[in-house]
């Protein structure tokens, strides 16, 4: 059984969409999505520098658009390709909602544009950020973070937790790591996502969601909230709204993949982060990251071997 996953914020790099524009129809599709949300996705995916695409209001729709065009290339690769389950990390959940048939492209890009703007506005209130903890015991690390006033915003499994809070709290963490943690790495994000600092964005996103009509998932949609497969479009949308201010439990998502009998995972563009976690947490499961169209042939082979499993 093959799982299709979409990465979250921080996966983007300057120029990462450039090679994808060589595929027929990709630039036209990106320009249509750009027009729908008044944001030049082609420019930001090809010519913008790292600081420009670090902006939350730009990064989030850019990542969703990248996931959609790379997944479309996969869909063309194998007739009637349908994954056994889909999931996304943080903003990647919106990408996954399109994969599952809950939202169409336009609704997803409209929602993520609102999400990015609202989260950027919330992040501007207080100087906050996020840092990844590598290694250590999760229970020990979580207790230590709470002692410092930090939130375990992403519990990613495979020995990785992401802490979020004020810059002062993160500086204290850098000086006082939890026992067993090898390294604390500051992430290139603009705020303390998936924490109480994002509460103002939830209200904005909830208002935007009222204008959408979600369909029920056509394939299993595995939620960041608790790793559970969600059966209705209404609940998927409700979780997308609330998840902005609540921790990402990617560890539980991967546990669900294992329980479902996953044999392969493909991470859409800009892939790499989630398959890295899967390699450590799900030994024996084949993984592939879609970084450029050069990865499509290997993806075709993986789909042929595992999509019917």
Residues assigned a catalytic role: 90, 194
Q: Under DSSP, is residue 150 helix (H, G, I), strand (E, B) or coil?
A: coil
Q: Under DSSP, is residue 134 helix (H, G, I), strand (E, B) or coil?
A: strand
Left (φ > 0), alpha (ψ -120 to 50) or beta: where does 206 sit? alpha
Count of residues for the chain?
Answer: 309
CB 180 within 8 Å of CB 137:
yes
DSSP 8-state class, residue 178: P
Alpha-carbon dihedral angle through residues 20, 96, 103, 208, given to the nearest 10 degrees: -100
Q: Report the half-sphere exposure of 89 (CA within 13 A, side-chain side).
A: 29
């Amino acid at each position: 059984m093959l799982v299709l996953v979409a990465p979250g914020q921080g996966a983007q790099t300057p120029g990462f969409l450039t090679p994808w524009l060589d595929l027929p129809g990709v630039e036209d599709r990106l320009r249509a999505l750009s027009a729908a949300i008044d944001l030049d996705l082609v420019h930001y995916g090809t010519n913008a520098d790292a600081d420009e695409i670090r902006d939350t209001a730009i990064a989030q729709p850019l990542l969703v658009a990248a996931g959609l065009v790379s997944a479309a290339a996969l869909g063309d690769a194998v007739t009637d390709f349908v994954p056994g389950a889909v999931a996304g990390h943080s903003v990647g959940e919106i990408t996954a909602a399109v994969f599952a048939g809950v939202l169409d492209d336009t609704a997803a890009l409209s929602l993520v544009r609102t999400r990015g703007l609202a989260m950027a506005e919330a992040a501007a209130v207080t100087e906050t950020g996020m840092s990844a903890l590598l290694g250590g015991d999760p229970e020990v690390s979580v207790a230590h973070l709470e002692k410092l006033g930090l939130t375990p915003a992403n519990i990613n499994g495979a020995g990785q937790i992401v802490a979020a809070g004020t810059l002062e709290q993160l500086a204290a963490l850098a000086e006082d790591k939890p026992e067993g943690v090898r390294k604390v790495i500051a992430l290139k994000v603009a705020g303390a996502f998936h924490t109480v600092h994002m509460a103002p964005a939830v209200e904005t996103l909830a208002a935007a969601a009222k204008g959408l009509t979600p369909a029920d998932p056509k394939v299993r949609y595995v939620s960041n909230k608790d790793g559970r497969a969600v059966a209705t479009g209404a609940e998927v949308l409700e979780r997308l709204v609330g998840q902005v201010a609540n921790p990402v439990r990617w560890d539980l998502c991967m546990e669900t993949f294992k329980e479902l009998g996953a044999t392969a995972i493909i991470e859409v563009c800009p892939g790499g982060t989630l398959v890295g976690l899967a390699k450590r947490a799900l030994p024996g499961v084949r993984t592939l990251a879609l970084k450029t169209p050069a990865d499509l042939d290997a993806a075709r082979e993986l789909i042929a071997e595992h999509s019917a499993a």
